[in-house]
Amino acid sequence: MKEIPHLTFDLDTLGVSTGHLVVPKGADCEALSLPVFSLNKGEGPRLLITGGNHGNELEGPIVARRLVEWLPEAQTCGRVIIVPEINPLAVQAWTRNTPIDGKNLNRAFPGRADGTVTERIADAVSRVLLPMADTVFDFHSFGPTWDTPSAIITHPIANADLMAKTLRMAEAFKLPVTLVWEYHDTPGMFDIWAHSQGKVFICPEFGGGTVSTEALAIHEAGVRNALIALGLVEGKAEHPTFRQQKSSQTLETLLSDELRSPARGIFEPRCSMLDEVKQGDLIGVLHSMESLSAGAIDIYAPTTSIVYAIRSGAYVEADEEIVYFARPLKL
Amino acid sequence: MKEIPHLTFDLDTLGVSTGHLVVPKGADCEALSLPVFSLNKGEGPRLLITGGNHGNELEGPIVARRLVEWLPEAQTCGRVIIVPEINPLAVQAWTRNTPIDGKNLNRAFPGRADGTVTERIADAVSRVLLPMADTVFDFHSFGPTWDTPSAIITHPIANADLMAKTLRMAEAFKLPVTLVWEYHDTPGMFDIWAHSQGKVFICPEFGGGTVSTEALAIHEAGVRNALIALGLVEGKAEHPTFRQQKSSQTLETLLSDELRSPARGIFEPRCSMLDEVKQGDLIGVLHSMESLSAGAIDIYAPTTSIVYAIRSGAYVEADEEIVYFARPLKL
């Protein structure tokens, strides 16, 4: 008999339970067992939290693990399901995509039961976990080679009611930035699939670069604020302190706000996340790998805007993304 | 006729010249051409600067590139040779080791003319460039998954005169930390070979994590201070500002100051670089990837000391380094 994706325990059990989500074996690898935590306090909101969708974004798994520690003391109603690493193969390899099939889990939804391992993970999450939740937090970050603030990102949603609910939920985190991001490469993303199922889907992008204890405290405070807003936890929401400030701003990034490298080489940032730049400001320099006599290529801000994310010093290919700009959201 | 490693231009040319160091082809790949910059102002100190020895430490190549921009205006005497990326194959792959042969260039010195590509690079640098210099700065950093300050590191050197000269040169950078590091894995390192040739060898370890514009300014200020101390550049040395302070400390790390992970899992830092910790303080937590019921492993400081470097949130294998402690250097 063919195995189907399933949980090794019963989510209806009251209180804390832990076990695994089994992703069946396929032609490319054996079955996977993803550790799952469930805290069922009966009636109330139903929340699914996932981390480790991309394997080199460790902020999410760590914040998820911390939640597992303190939630049993704090949660007063409803259900929370936590899967700290939905792609353990990528986490163990510290890679964005799954090493076995080279696929990006966040482009594989809703998945395929008879597909490659990445597609089977997406299928298991879509079939077994997603139906159990009304709201999803899928923890991401910009990864090690970007300079970005801790933020909640949402794509624009055609359904106006779902968009309004999502934006309200996003702002409840009170992270330094809430961003509505018009993005080109969305087919197969977890949020797009969850929206089609009527879910409120929140994508925290917990900054980039070093996963420090100070940064983790900000991310965790944001999640606590969101749990308070959902009514799962009691308490008073507070802005975390970021760069000596306690404030949030809601921004938007349009398709035209993406800046790509004019050539391959080493990118040197000349500005930082959240800098306000004027059209024509020098924001970075691209150094050729082939020659030192060619001179570097100066890169200027195409418009007056805010730097949402900038590549930290990194080798980049031609036409690779190096900066995302943003501007205050007009509603 | 067999090709030998060589420069495509004459280092004796006065003023600025640029060209390439040719690393001959071998069984595993074609010949490489590494861009080289030379500024010859006649009599005076002879300095070789290299970056990109490890391909995922981009601070060095960027600081080296910046030097190429301003040195022609600033250098008053002597000779400086700069190779921003001595391992371009690793830089382009953003990996520590060379992808073609999997070797660590900084364990391959003095290299082999008939070896793999990493060994041929080491051979070319050892034969063609090293003899041209009295002092070497080989730019490194701790890489993206560590939280560390900008520092100069030297291993203990048996020759007391060379040790004293090296420490004096290291402290002239005026970076936040100068560290004498007793390290076990030194065979084949560039510094060990250069010491055997009587050179003063300095290894800047330009921090870890995000390569931000603020961090780069600190590293660059350190190099400018060193060039002033060598007499190559005129000006007044100044401590760069790091965490609102302008100061330096000289520390040492002993073999016993290395802490390794007790198991595989996700490491969560609970302290930061340069924190002073007491014996028994909680400094990190290790989360199992297999189970959420097993509980996390708390990691405590084994002695009262200073945290020199701590893994930022990262997946680690059992017995992998997670913290390096340090203490004030006793001379």
pLDDT in tens, A215-257: 999 999 999 999 999 999 999 999 999 988 888 999 999 999 9
Give the C-alpha separation, A205 to A51, whole Å: 11
Among chain B residues, the shortest Cα distance to A65 is held by: B287
Nearest Cβ partner for B270 among A211, A213, A314: A213
Residue A298 token pair: 């100066």
Measured between CA atoms, how close is B100 to chain A, in angstroms?
A: 18
- Beta strands B150-154 and B177-181 are parallel
Residue A233 token pair: 């936890």
pLDDT at A1: 54
Contact A65 B315 (CB under 8 A): no
Query: Which of B206, B272, B315 to substitute to test the interface with A, most A CBs within 10 Å?
Result: B315
Cα-based distances in Å from B153 to B53, B250, B328: 15, 10, 14
Residue appearing with tokens 């197969």? A188
- Beta strands A200-206 and A135-138 are parallel
Question: What's the length of chain A?
Answer: 331
Average pLDDT of span B101-119:
98
Contact B18 A213 (CB under 8 A): no
pLDDT band at B249 (very low <50, low <70, confident <90, very high): very high
Nearest Cβ partner for B213 among A271, A293, A315: A271
* Number of C-beta neighbours around residue A319 at 10 A: 11
Residue appearing with tokens 């700069």? B82
- Find the angle CA(B300)-CA(B305)-CA(B308) to the nearest 5 degrees: 90
* The amino acid at B303: T
Cα-based distances in Å from A64 to A37, A113, A253, B79: 10, 27, 27, 54
Cβ-contact A307, A273 below 8 angstroms = yes
Closest CA relative to residue B155, chosen from B145, B140, B176, B134: B140
Give the C-alpha separation, B107 to B118, whole Å: 9
A28 Cβ contact list (under 8 Å, min separation 6): A100, A101, A116, A117
**Average pLDDT of chain A?**
95
Contact B58 A289 (CB under 8 A): no
Contact A216 B313 (CB under 8 A): yes
Contact A269 B61 (CB under 8 A): no
* The amino acid at B223: V
Residue B233 token pair: 């550049």
Nearest Cβ partner for A58 among B147, B271, B313: B313
Nearest Cβ partner for B94 among A213, A270, A315: A315
Residue appearing with tokens 């007391």? B160
Cβ-contact B326, B308 below 8 angstroms = yes
Give the C-alpha separation, A156 to A142, whole Å: 19
* Number of C-beta neighbours around residue B181 at 10 A: 22
Query: Which of A20, A67, A212, A310 to substitute to test the interface with B, most B CBs within 10 Å?
Result: A212
- Find the angle CA(A269)-CA(A274)-CA(A280) to the nearest 5 degrees: 60
Strand partners, B137: B49, B202
Measured between CA atoms, how close is A300 to chain B, in angstroms?
A: 15
What pTM did the predictor assign?
A: 0.94
Among chain A residues, the shortest Cα distance to B309 is held by: A212
3-class DSSP state for residue B251? strand
3-class DSSP state for residue B324? strand
pLDDT at B243 over 90: no
**Counting Cβ atoms within 10 Å, is residue B77 exposed (0-12), middle (13-18) or buried (19+)?**
middle
Contact A144 B147 (CB under 8 A): no
Q: Residue A145: what are its φ and ψ, rounded to 5°?
A: -105, 20
Measured between CA atoms, how close is B317 to chain A, in angstroms?
A: 9
Cβ-contact B105, B122 below 8 angstroms = yes
Cβ-contact A77, A42 below 8 angstroms = yes
Give the C-alpha separation, A159 to B139, whole Å: 53
Higher local confidence (pLDDT), B166 or B185: B166
Give the C-alpha separation, A247 to A241, whole Å: 8
Measured between CA atoms, how close is B204 to chain A, in angstroms?
A: 17
Half-sphere CA count of B207, side-chain side, radius 13 A:
27
Give the C-alpha separation, A26 to A6, whole Å: 15
Closest CA relative to residue A91, chosen from A45, A125, A60, A126: A60
Cβ-contact B79, B230 below 8 angstroms = no
pLDDT at B2 over 80: no
Tell whether omega for the bond before A328 is within 30 degrees of 0, i.e. cis. no
Query: Which of A142, A210, A216 to substitute to test the interface with B, most B CBs within 10 Å?
Result: A210
* Number of C-beta neighbours around residue A166 at 10 A: 25
Give me the numbers of helices (H) and strands (E) for chain A, helices first please.
6, 19
pLDDT at B67: 97
Give the C-alpha separation, B169 to A38, whole Å: 57
Contact B314 A37 (CB under 8 A): no
Half-sphere CA count of B263, side-chain side, radius 13 A:
15
**Which residues of B are less than 8 Å from A94 in CB distance?**
145, 314-315
What is the DSSP track for A206-220?
E-BS---HHHHHHHH
Closest CA relative to residue A226, chosen from A243, A204, A207, A194: A204
Query: Which of B211, B218, B272 to substitute to test the interface with A, most A CBs within 10 Å?
Result: B211
E strands within A44-193?
46-50, 78-83, 135-138, 146-147, 150-154, 177-181
Give the C-alpha separation, B258 to B264, whole Å: 17
pLDDT at B186 over 90: no
pLDDT band at B139 (very low <50, low <70, confident <90, very high): very high
Give the C-alpha separation, A283 to A298, whole Å: 8
pLDDT at B1 over 60: no
Nearest Cβ partner for B59 among A88, A216, A313: A313
Low pLDDT (below 70) residues in chain A:
1
Query: Which of A22, A312, A317, A323 to substitute to test the interface with B, most B CBs within 10 Å?
Result: A312
Measured between CA atoms, how close is B268 to chain A, in angstroms?
A: 7
Instruction: Tell me the torsion sign for CA atoms A107, A104, A29, A68.
Output: negative
Contact B36 A292 (CB under 8 A): yes
Nearest Cβ partner for A315 among B58, B272, B285: B58
Give the C-alpha separation, B172 to B280, whole Å: 35
Closest CA relative to residue A9, chosen from A47, A44, A36, A48: A36
Average pLDDT of span B213-228:
95
Measured between CA atoms, how close is B109 to chain A, in angstroms?
A: 23
Nearest Cβ partner for A18 among B59, B266, B293: B293
Burial pattern A26-49, b for ≥16 Cβ within 10 A else e, equals: beeeeebebbbbbbbbeebbbbbb
Contact A216 B59 (CB under 8 A): no
pLDDT at A73: 96
**Which residues of A are less than 8 Å from B37 in CB distance?**
292
B33 Cβ contact list (under 8 Å, min separation 6): A290, B8, B20, B21, B22, B23
